[in-house]
Structure 1
Amino acid sequence: MGHGQRALVRDVCLAVRPGRVVALIGPNGSGKTTILRTVAGQLRALGGVVELFGRALDEVPATERAQEMAVMLTGRPSTELLTCRDVVEAGRYPFTGRLGVLGEKDHEAVRAALEATGTAELTERDFAHISDGQRQRVLLARALSQEPRVLLLDEPTSYLDVRSQLEVLQLLRHEARERGIAVVASLHEVDLAQKAADHVICIRDGRVMCQGAPDEVLTAERVAELYDLGPGAYDPAFGSVELARPEGDPEVFVIAGGGTGAACFRQLARDGVPFATGVLHEHDADGLLARSLAVRAIYERDFEPVSERAVAQAREVLLGCRRVICCVGGFGTMNARNAELLDAARAAGLLSG
């Protein structure tokens, strides 16, 4: 796959089944858009073959291809005095014949797409004078109005706020499931691919690095390799990429647990302050995050009360720090002995706040 005679992407083998959402992820310039444009028939494959429901793509007439496949790429269409309704109605032209006159079925498909994407209120607005996020939704409505069997999208969540990103991905999952559409989308946000995709394909340097189910592919090691991240920067439990762990001996000890320490951990990381924490259970929310951000963390086994051994180890680390921050408001049965750490911090005059 590539431009002219220059191959930009090699050795790509993928199959997309109806009703499934496939996400392409990878660094900028890795070849995601080239793959989409080739599958869409906008770029000629320099080798191999692209098939649409068992037929070679170059043997499928353009009108039939447009009836089966909808494409939403990152480029903005050049519009002049077109309303949002006009843009969405353009998705029905493969079905209208030479005169381009929309029938009742076409109008119903347009109405359904506008409602599904939350753009019905924009129908009479000038497409050129709405926000980038609104344009993104209108273009998605145009693609859905085609009632395609295959939907190709390049960065469909670009320009959207967090709520709109989730709504768009929920819509794509709904369309895939309810109407049996095969959806292929390139995404920049690893956490969105983890949440929304049935299958993830990792693209790096023009090749498929790996592919599979999200929980198989989006491991800390593979995401770090894909994006050249430092060790521990990506946490698959949260689907998040964290700042690099501050270097040096711990200056602050954080008593946390149950997710109470997350904001403190991240604030210390933003400030470049190396910190230690404990005693945390291994798969507690704070325990997982500490693996990425803390320079030292003391753990207890899951579902076990904090032991005397773990408290003694944590107390030794705590007394070597300049200050202590306690994020928990009280202690329960499983972390009761962490109260001893709080007492040690008070006795040593290390407690902040």
Structure 2
Amino acid sequence: MSERPYDTQSDVRTAAGAQAGLGMRATAAACPDGQATHDQGDIGAAHALELRGLAVGHGARALVSDIDLVVDPGEVVALIGPNGSGKTTILHTVAGQLRPLAGSVELFGHELASLTGTERARTMAALFTDRPRTDLLTCQDIVEAGRHPYTGSLGILSDEDHRRVREAMEATDTWALRDRDFAHMSDGQRQRALIARALCQEPRVLLLDEPTSYLDIRSQVDMLQLLRAWARERGMAVLASLHEIDLAQKAADRIACVRDGHIMFQGTPDEVFTSDVIPVLYDLDSTSYDPFFGGVELARPEGEPQVFVIAGGGAGATIFRALQRQGIPFAAGVLHRHDIDGLLASHLAVKSVFEDDFEPVGEDALRRAADALRSCRAVICPLESFGALNARNAELLDAARDAGIPVVRDIEQLGRVLKLGRTASND
């Protein structure tokens, strides 16, 4: 078969539903259990999606080059990277909306360019951030467009088509919105409906560009859990760009990091979400990204510590963040390095005093903490009691009282102490 031209307005990108065709020389037929099946003869053991030496861009200018990436059935692969790095351009090229500048895109071992529009649409679906133009179409009308590859020239939906539409709408919590005017729905509701449209297309490969955009946090979690479940249970391969790196860390099997015109790094979440990779990918201060919490911390307050926090076991986390928000530099100790408070203090505290994990607070750590404490204006200790490993932290309370340093239990009390201190100094 001769190569088909790439057309950004037909085949793959359709407001009518065959957005990114799927291919495989496969025919979809209803099985006794209602599940669609495809001719497995051409599929074999091939990857669901394979990019070989792919270069993508607009016109003749390559934005990302030398892309080698595979996505297997049942796998979720996330593209992450800074704005403008080329994640969306990669997806548009894989969907057939842009011609590759070099290399190839293969669906189950078949060149994308060799597949007909129907073949693509029965194998691959795509959802991008642009919105279809709609005139007096209901939510259900939009979702039903996802069945376009299966309806024939007249576009008449069968009972099976209606069943697939309802299944996808119920899965995305849009069935109750089926009669709503799509144009008058909220951005989040429209996003869920468009995901339903892609799912009812029965894709074996699903391309998603920022699928959690417009969704509230509950809907983000629900949608990613749904995609993971459909990938696992139905063997669907998913390639998605995500800006929420904490969600990518939790939802993806593998991550591809896009930066400076190439795939900078790819691997499992454990390999990617480290203090070595993420700060380089996003030009972050090396201390601002915390792989344990899976997020980025704002810069710690600068200056000499004004407050000493005695914490541990997570009791200090809210205190640390409150002090950071108020721009009050603080010290903390004695903490165990991989305790929750220890991990957070390493990012937010001006000075942290640590003891080895699983070891009781020793003399050296206690001395260093007491020295740091004596230079502070106040001590805050939210702990109700001390245990075997941090028992000697109670001695820090005695050290504070001996030095005449106020000891408080919460931020509200601390605010009064610091305010009184400023008033006294002004007097």
TM range (shorter): over 0.9
Deviations 1:44-78 (A, max 9, x none): 10100000110110001111101100100000111
Deviations 1:255-312 (A, max 9, x none): 1111111111112222222211011111100111111111211111111111122111
Q: Aligned pair 1:27/2:62, yes or no? A: no
Deviations 1:169-226 (A, max 9, x none): 1001001000000001111111101111000011112311101000101112211111
Q: Aligned pair 1:183/2:233, yes or no? A: no
- TM-score, normalised to structure 2's length? 0.81
Aligned to 1:60: 115
Aligned to 1:245: 300
Structure 1 segment 86-125 matched on structure 2, within 5 A: 86-125=141-180
Aligned to 2:270: 215
Q: Which moved more, 1:318-327 or 1:188-197?
A: 318-327
> How far does residue 11 in structure 1 lie from its aligned partner after superposition?
1.5
* Aligned with 2:382 (options 320, 327, 330): 327
What RMSD in Å do the two structures reach over aligned CA positions?
Answer: 1.0
> How far does residue 143 in structure 1 lie from its aligned partner after superposition?
0.4
* Aligned with 1:265 (options 320, 334, 358): 320
SS in 1 for 2:334: strand
- TM-score, normalised to structure 1's length? 0.98
Q: Aligned pair 1:192/2:247, yes or no? A: yes
> How far does residue 343 in structure 1 lie from its aligned partner after superposition?
2.0
> How far does residue 346 in structure 1 lie from its aligned partner after superposition?
2.8
Maintained 8 Å contact 1:31/1:205: no
Structure 1 segment 1-353 matched on structure 2, within 5 A: 1-347=56-402, 348-352=404-408, 353=413
Distance in 2 of aligned mates of 1:264 and 1:218:
26
Structure 2, unmatched stretches of 5+, are 1-55, 414-427
Q: Which moved more, 1:332-341 or 1:64-73?
A: 332-341
Distance in 2 of aligned mates of 1:34 and 1:59:
21
Structure 1, unmatched stretches of 5+, are none
Structure with greater Cα Rg: 2
Distance in 2 of aligned mates of 1:206 and 1:326:
50
Residue type at the aligned position of 2:107: L
Higher relative contact order (CA 8 A, sep 6+): 1
Residue type at the aligned position of 2:323: L
Distance in 2 of aligned mates of 1:115 and 1:102:
18
Residue type at the aligned position of 2:230: E
Distance in 1 of aligned mates of 2:126 and 2:72:
17
> How far does residue 160 in structure 1 lie from its aligned partner after superposition?
1.1
Distance in 1 of aligned mates of 2:261 and 2:303:
38
SS in 2 for 1:246: coil
Maintained 8 Å contact 1:113/1:144: yes
Percent of residue pairs bearing the same amino acid type: 65
Distance in 2 of aligned mates of 1:264 and 1:30:
37
SS in 2 for 1:50: strand
Deviations 1:125-180 (A, max 9, x none): 00100111111100000000011000000011111111111111100100100000
Maintained 8 Å contact 2:377/2:405: no
Maintained 8 Å contact 1:22/1:184: yes
Maintained 8 Å contact 2:379/2:405: no
Aligned to 2:8: none
SS in 2 for 1:13: strand
SS in 1 for 2:218: helix
Residue type at the aligned position of 1:295: V
Distance in 2 of aligned mates of 1:46 and 1:13:
14
Distance in 2 of aligned mates of 1:345 and 1:77:
65
SS in 2 for 1:338: helix
Distance in 1 of aligned mates of 2:388 and 2:226:
43
